[in-house]
C-alpha cells in the first residue's frame, strides 16, 4: 500500500500534521536533515517544495525561500539525489510539491521513476490542469503507485470537488482561502462556512487543510474540520530564522501552535 494511504488508514482518531519546506533553503544541504528531524519529532508526512522561479500560488515567505534555494544550486535532480541518500531511513511519506514547468522539463515519466527510486510517495502540482492530469499524469502515477494530490478552494464548485474526489486517491488538499500562501491569525466566518460545506459532502477521500495555519486557533479549526493540518509559511519562516536548525525551528513551531 502507498505510504500516504497507510497513514490515513492507520490514524484512527489522530489528527495529522504535515509540514512543508522548500528543498535547498536556507542551505543547499539542509534538506535531508530537515526531513529526518521532522520524522524524529513525530510529523506525519512532509511536503518537500521544489523551488521554482515563478511560484504564482505562493506568498513572499515561500517565494523568498525558493529564490534562495535556486541561488544555492538546488535542482530537481539534486533533490532526488538527496532524498535517495536517506531513503532507507525515512518511514513517513514524502510528497513533492512543485510547479508543472520543472517537472515537464525533467520528463513526467522520468519524474515518476525518480520518485520511486528516492522514496517519494506522491506529488502536488498546483498548476496542473485536471484534463492533463487525467490524460497524461494519472496513468503514469498509477503505474508507479504514486498519489497525485489535488487542491480545492472556497471557489471550487461542488461538481468539480466531486469529480476530483472520484478521480484521485490519498487525500484532498483543502486550501483555506483563494489567496496566496501565508500565515493567518484566525479563520473568518466565510472560511468556517466553507469548511462546514465540504464536511456535509460525504467525500470518499480524507482532507487536509492548509494555507494560513500558524497558531492554536487556526490549527484547531483545521483539525476540527479535516483529518489534519498542513503548515508551510510559518515553518519556512522559523527554519530561516533558525538558520536551518530544524529541531530549533520545530521547537518554536510547537510553541506557537499552543498559543
All residues at 6 or more sequence positions from 157 whose CB lies less than 8 Å from its CB, including other chains: none
- The reply to whether 188 belongs to the active site is no
141 burial level (CB within 10 Å; 0-12, 13-18, 19+): buried
Task: Please spell the DSSP secondary structure of 139-191, one letter per residue.
Answer: HHHHHTT-EEEPEE-TTS-HHHHHHHHHH--S-EEEESSSS-S---S---HHH
- The reply to whether 165 belongs to the active site is no
- As a whole number of angstroms, the distance between CA 203 and CA 172 comes to 9
All residues at 6 or more sequence positions from 198 whose CB lies less than 8 Å from its CB, including other chains: 152, 161, 174, 207, 225
Report yes or no: 173 and 124 within 8 Å, Cβ to Cβ. yes
C-alpha cell read off for 258? 499552543
First to last CA, the chain: 37
Phi/psi at 232 (5° precision)? -120, -75
Catalytic residue among 13, 33, 47, 109: 47
Number of residues that make up the chain: 259
What letters, b where the CB count within 10 A reaches 16 and e where it falls short, cover 206-243? Answer: bbbbbbbbbbeebbebbbebbbbbbbbbbbbbbbbebe
Catalytic residue among 44, 58, 169, 245: 58
β-partners of residue 172 are 207
Catalytic residues: 47, 58
Amino acid at each position: 500500500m502507498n505510504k500516504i494511504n497507510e497513514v490515513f488508514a492507520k490514524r484512527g482518531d489522530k489528527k495529522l500534521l504535515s509540514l512543508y519546506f522548500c528543498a535547498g533553503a536556507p542551505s543547499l544541504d539542509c534538506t535531508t536533515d530537515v526531513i529526518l528531524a521532522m520524522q524524529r519529532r513525530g510529523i506525519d508526512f512532509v511536503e518537500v517544495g521544489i523551488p521554482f522561479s515563478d511560484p504564482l500560488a505562493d506568498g513572499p515567505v515561500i517565494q523568498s525561500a525558493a529564490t534562495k534555494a535556486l541561488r544555492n544550486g538546488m535542482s530537481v535532480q539534486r533533490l532526488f539525489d538527496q532524498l535517495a541518500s536517506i531513503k532507507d531511513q525515512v518511514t513517513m511519506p514524502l510528497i513533492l510539491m512543485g510547479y508543472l514547468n520543472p517537472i515537464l522539463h525533467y520528463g513526467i515519466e522520468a519524474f515518476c521513476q525518480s520518485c520511486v527510486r528516492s522514496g517519494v510517495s506522491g506529488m502536488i502540482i498546483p498548476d496542473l490542469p485536471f484534463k492533463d492530469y487525467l490524460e497524461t499524469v494519472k496513468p503514469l502515477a498509477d503505474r508507479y503507485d504514486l498519489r497525485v494530490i489535488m487542491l480545492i478552494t472556497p471557489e471550487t464548485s461542488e461538481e468539480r470537488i466531486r469529480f476530483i474526489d472520484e478521480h484521485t486517491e490519498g487525500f484532498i488538499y483543502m486550501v483555506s482561502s483563494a489567496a496566496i500562501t501565508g500565515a493567518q491569525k484566525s479563520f473568518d466566518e466565510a472560511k468556517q462556512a466553507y469548511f462546514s460545506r465540504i464536511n456535509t459532502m460525504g467525500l470518499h477521500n480524507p482532507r487536509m487543510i492548509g494555507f494560513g495555519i500558524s497558531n492554536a486557533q487556526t490549527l484547531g479549526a483545521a483539525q476540527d474540520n479535516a483529518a489534519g493540518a498542513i503548515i508551510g509559511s510559518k515553518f519556512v519562516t522559523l527554519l530561516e530564522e533558525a538558520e536551518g536548525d530544524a529541531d530549533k525551528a520545530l521547537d518554536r513551531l510547537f510553541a506557537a501552535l499552543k498559543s
